[in-house]
Structure 1
Amino acid sequence: MRDYIVNSVKYWADEYHIDGFRFDLMAIHDTATMNEVARELKTIRPDIFVYGEGWTAGDSPLPVEQRALKDNVSAMPQVAVFSDDIRDAVKGHYTDATDRGFATGKPGLEETVKIGIVGATAHPQVDYSKGNNSKKPYALSPTQVINYVSCHDDLTLTDKLRASLPDKDDSMRQRAAKLAQTIVFTSQGTPFLFAGEEIFRDKKGVHNSYKSPDSVNAIDWSLKQKNADLFQYYQELIKLRKEHPAFRMKTAGDVARHLVFDKKENRPGVITYMLKDNANGDSWKEIMLVFNGNDAPVDVNVPKADWLVVAQDGRLVAKGLGKSSGGKMSVAPCSALILACEK
């Protein structure tokens, strides 16, 4: 079976030039098979991406230590896994539609969000014992982790926000969507975006729509005009990540050195950290990020400097919204504040 799997993916890579392979319920396979898959594919083209779900969705006859689980990804250096840590911590647990997460005002999830921010690598300021899904760092490098808040399985982010914020309107839910995706796209690792999320696509509350008709699954493209502000925010967020390698560090050592959380900022629903010293060769010397998941504004102390304001109060422009000299700054409810300093 291993031979069949390896030869199949090699054929698809050679014949159809497929450059990414996602394995559903990857932990049904063993680590040896996944390592051979990755090794053979990367001899065809080094940038082929191999990733999968690091769980089995049930039991397996394989011994636990041989399963291609999320917790065993360190035994598969060229394979990546989805982060259920950041997914459930940011938007609320996937099994309960009404459960809230960090981006929707639920306190106590800060440390689990941080696990996602550092790409599940060992970091001196992250207490894994407080993690909801993981109790130890499992990735050798952030390149082994895929951060996301929704995909084809379970509720879309839009449906989740409508179920967990029934007392809010869609404009407030879109603020939460912006905050959630800002956390994902500025975290170390690989961001994953569900098609249509950028225009607030829903699936009419259907959790798993593999057997649903087009009336549920089709993307309603009129939403692009209706939710143009959200679409443009996503565009700028993607542009920000592409233009700044500080958000794309490749080693755990670099993440531990250059990503520094503000431990003085120890309030429920608030995460503050810096990307320091031109991280990963970035043109920005320092980047300060503040995430406020609360329903009320919070004040933060920003070091005095010539800051470029990149994101503030639900707005984001990769090249900057304006300038700030630092000091005490207010972070709007359910929003991200991103500042950058070149010197």
Structure 2
Amino acid sequence: MNLKSFLAMSMLVTAGCSSYQPKEYRSYDEYPVYEGKWEEMVYSPAATRFALWAPTAQEVRVLLYDEGQGGSAVRMIPMEVGESGMWNISVEGDLKGKFYTFNAKINDVWQGDTPGVMAKAVGVNGDRAAVIDLASTNPEGWENDVRPPLKSFSDIVIYEMHHRDFSIDTVAGIRNRGKFLALTEEGTHTYLGEKTGIDHLKELGVTHVHLLPSFDFSSVDETKPDVPQYNWGYDPKNYNVPEGSYATDPYRPDVRIREFKQMVMALHRAGIRVIMDVVYNHTATTEGGNFERTVPGYFYRQDKDGKFANASGCGNETASERAMVRKYMVESVTYWAKEYHVDGFRFDLMGIHDIETMNAIRKALNDIDPTIYMYGEGWAASAPQLPDDRLAMKANTYKMPGIAAFSDEFRDSLRGAWGDDSKGAFVIGRLGHANGIKFGLAGGIRHAQVTNDTLGHALVSWALAPSQFISYVSCHDDLCITDRLKTTLPGASVQELEALLKLAETAVLTSQGVPFIFAGDEVMRDKQGVGNSYNSPDEINAIDWHNKTSHRGVFDYVKGLIALRKAHPAFRMGDADLIREHLEFLETPASNVVAFRLKGSPCNDSWINTTVVLNARTEPVKISVPAGKYWVACRDGKVDLITGLGMIVGNQLQVAPRSALIVHQ
């Protein structure tokens, strides 16, 4: 939008066009800020109050419908302008079960119907909002739902999943395949008896499930449940409503809400917290979208030519630094935390947002429950329209206490750089990445033994605490680790691939950062070489649950590492000074070997002088250690915390090729 059209949009309306003449605003900073709670629909049996923040509107109407789709409005009610640009109207009578839209007249043009920007219940495909009593959507026992205990962010083990990927395979034995309710079913298993669904998660031992976008998104037509449709969901439509295609009945507004709550409650009862992937950095559409039809231009940044800026790579970028956009994000996140008991939030392209907004969200969540976790991608697709020092980029993580970022340094050092699938790194034996591994093992904090890698990549500490550092080798975006290994080491046998995946996950799960596992990596899941599988069919994206049988050794290994981490606080000290005091990297006799010792018994760990060796070479190596007696917990692709895997006496540890060794005194 250029300056001329912006001013025209906001100018005083010519006399006679409307009874109300909105104020002229020279800049978006002058737009009024509504200080009250941002609610567009408040229901009671006696009357329903509607409200819409539209400070540049001349008129606003609310239209009532009997159905969520199709048919004409049964009533059209003019709204009254109130304070700070908020239009209001109270409609008497019991409207429960009705649907509604808003339409704003701006610069003498009716913008078109929207469900508003703060809709909390919608009909099919989210085109109309619904009048609903939210209290009636609570499943039985909801008032007694509590978050599983969490002492420290460093105790977290995250499992990232897409609803459909996790449960659509018929082999899983799940009735509600691809739905929220899939994660409420207990006792599901393959025909060979392997646990699936929520029982699989409990067996694996993760503490948090990270759900790919589960709010209402645009790309799946909810009216066609029998037509194969797939999307990751990074195309937001209604931020404050669960996605209808994951519900058993997308036409009934209460069903998607209730079933999402049932899912959260079931996971909580299983001892697992729930993280939502939130995408406030862009919307699916601009022109004709909810924001643009309500307050044109305000919710988005513009470039120097007045066009929509595009740091997201999706056609727009939101303006989190503007007061009402910041308020929107804070209220939306806290709504999910309070209404749905969500325990954490992962921010897509967090680097587009400004630091002040992210800290405001952290503060608001602290007021609800300081154990709610926040993290995100500390980058953008291209340069946003704010100075670097104001953005929630990875390099600025130290300015955002209690907020974490993904470590692409650790990821790339393990498996190879993003954007070039043909190049591997440490895990397949490529030289020059050892210091990147050390950087990740230390949790991204400043450590005297971590220096730049030999390839010239800077390894600059950006985390003040290890809980601000997400350790991972694979996620939904780009090739999963199995496909990456196949691409970078063509011709490798299944046994070699299993060994390399185990080595990579050992690094992730012994890192002082917060470990993050992509769903299915623990059973050697692949996506047939498709990295950007955002709309690929189930044949590409679905987890094949046969893999849990054919790669049972990999599952048991990852499960064992998670149990090891949870049992021994030395691997999750949670304090930068403690890590610098106790984490010592050992000298290695050859390249592509990283070894470290956790000196003494940090955090009162029952193990003493725990030592970890990661050998990415194709031949065995010997590591010198202080003379003593060492019990083996992990060796040759196996983990055993009960009886152990033997004992080593002396001052040398021998480590098999392409494997990890974990011992303690």
Give the TM-score band, short-chain normalised: over 0.9
Which deviations, in whole Å up to 9, do the C-alpha atoms of 1:57-105 show, x marking residues without a partner? 1111110011101100000011000011110001111211121111111
3-state secondary structure, aligned to 2:364 = helix
Q: Out of 597, 603, 620, which is 1:297 matched to?
A: 620
Q: Out of 439, 447, 450, which is 1:126 matched to?
A: 450
3-state secondary structure, aligned to 1:192 = strand
Describe how 1:279-318 pairs up with structure 2 within 5 A: 279-318=602-641
Letter in 2 for 1:271: V
Does residue 217 of the first structure (1) align with residue 550 of the second (2)? no
State the alpha-carbon separation in 1 of the partners of residues 508 and 455 from structure 2. Answer: 17
Match of 1:188 in 2: 512
State the alpha-carbon separation in 2 of the partners of residues 225 and 239 from structure 1. Answer: 20
Match of 1:145 in 2: 469
Contact 1:259 1:275 (C-alpha < 8 Å) held by counterparts:
yes
Inter-CA distance 249–237: structure 2 relative to 1 (3 Å threshold): same
- Name the structure where helix makes up a greater proportion of residues: 1
Q: Out of 577, 584, 593, which is 1:253 matched to?
A: 577
Contact 1:186 1:241 (C-alpha < 8 Å) held by counterparts:
yes
Describe how 1:319-334 pairs up with structure 2 within 5 A: 319=642, 320-334=644-658
Contact 2:589 2:623 (C-alpha < 8 Å) held by counterparts:
no
Segments of 5+ residues of structure 1 without an aligned counterpart are none
Letter in 2 for 1:257: E
Describe how 1:78-89 pairs up with structure 2 within 5 A: 78-89=402-413
Shift in Å at residue 157 of structure 1? 0.5
State the alpha-carbon separation in 1 of the partners of residues 657 and 453 from structure 2. Answer: 28
Contact 1:188 1:249 (C-alpha < 8 Å) held by counterparts:
yes
Contact 2:439 2:459 (C-alpha < 8 Å) held by counterparts:
no
Shift in Å at residue 272 of structure 1? 1.3
Which deviations, in whole Å up to 9, do the C-alpha atoms of 1:238-295 show, x marking residues without a partner? 1000000001011110110000111x32531011110012112211121011111111
Match of 1:270 in 2: 593
Does residue 93 of the first structure (1) align with residue 417 of the second (2)? yes
3-state secondary structure, aligned to 1:216 = helix
State the alpha-carbon separation in 2 of the partners of residues 179 and 27 from structure 1. Answer: 31
Shift in Å at residue 129 of structure 1? 6.7
Contact 1:286 1:340 (C-alpha < 8 Å) held by counterparts:
yes
Contact 2:430 2:592 (C-alpha < 8 Å) held by counterparts:
yes
State the alpha-carbon separation in 1 of the partners of residues 526 and 453 from structure 2. Answer: 35
Contact 1:84 1:133 (C-alpha < 8 Å) held by counterparts:
no
Describe how 1:13-24 pairs up with structure 2 within 5 A: 13-24=337-348
Percentage identity across paired residues of the two chains: 45
Letter in 1 for 2:637: G
Segments of 5+ residues of structure 2 without an aligned counterpart are 1-324
State the alpha-carbon separation in 1 of the partners of residues 524 and 437 from structure 2. Answer: 23
Match of 2:394 in 1: 70
Q: Out of 502, 511, 514, which is 1:178 matched to?
A: 502
3-state secondary structure, aligned to 2:612 = strand
Does residue 57 of the first structure (1) align with residue 378 of the second (2)? no
State the alpha-carbon separation in 2 of the partners of residues 138 and 202 from structure 1. Answer: 32
TM-score for both structures, normalised by structure 2: 0.50
Contact 1:112 1:130 (C-alpha < 8 Å) held by counterparts:
no
Match of 1:229 in 2: 553
Describe how 1:158-173 pairs up with structure 2 within 5 A: 158-173=482-497
State the alpha-carbon separation in 2 of the partners of residues 300 and 10 from structure 1. Answer: 50
Say which is worse superposed, 318-327 or 168-177, in terms of deviation: 318-327
Inter-CA distance 133–5: structure 2 relative to 1 (3 Å threshold): farther
Shift in Å at residue 131 of structure 1? 7.7
3-state secondary structure, aligned to 2:594 = strand
Which aligned segments of 4 or more residues in structure 1 are displaced greater than 6 angstroms?
Answer: none
Does residue 10 of the first structure (1) align with residue 334 of the second (2)? yes
3-state secondary structure, aligned to 1:277 = coil
Shift in Å at residue 50 of structure 1? 0.4
State the alpha-carbon separation in 1 of the partners of residues 362 and 456 from structure 2. Answer: 30
State the alpha-carbon separation in 1 of the partners of residues 576 and 625 from structure 2. Answer: 27
Shift in Å at residue 134 of structure 1? 4.1
Aligned residues: 340
Query: RMSD in angstroms over aligned alpha carbons?
Result: 1.3
Contact 1:273 1:289 (C-alpha < 8 Å) held by counterparts:
yes
Larger CA Rg, structure 1 vs 2 = 2
Match of 1:102 in 2: 426
Contact 2:394 2:462 (C-alpha < 8 Å) held by counterparts:
yes
Say which is worse superposed, 129-138 or 104-113, in terms of deviation: 129-138
Say which is worse superposed, 100-109 or 323-332, in terms of deviation: 323-332
3-state secondary structure, aligned to 1:39 = helix
Shift in Å at residue 128 of structure 1? 3.7
Match of 1:111 in 2: 435
Give the structure, 1 or 2, with the largest relative contact order (CA under 8 Å, sep 6 or more). Answer: 1
Letter in 2 for 1:187: S
State the alpha-carbon separation in 2 of the partners of residues 132 and 38 from structure 1. Answer: 35
TM-score for both structures, normalised by structure 1: 0.96
Letter in 2 for 1:251: D
Match of 2:156 in 1: none
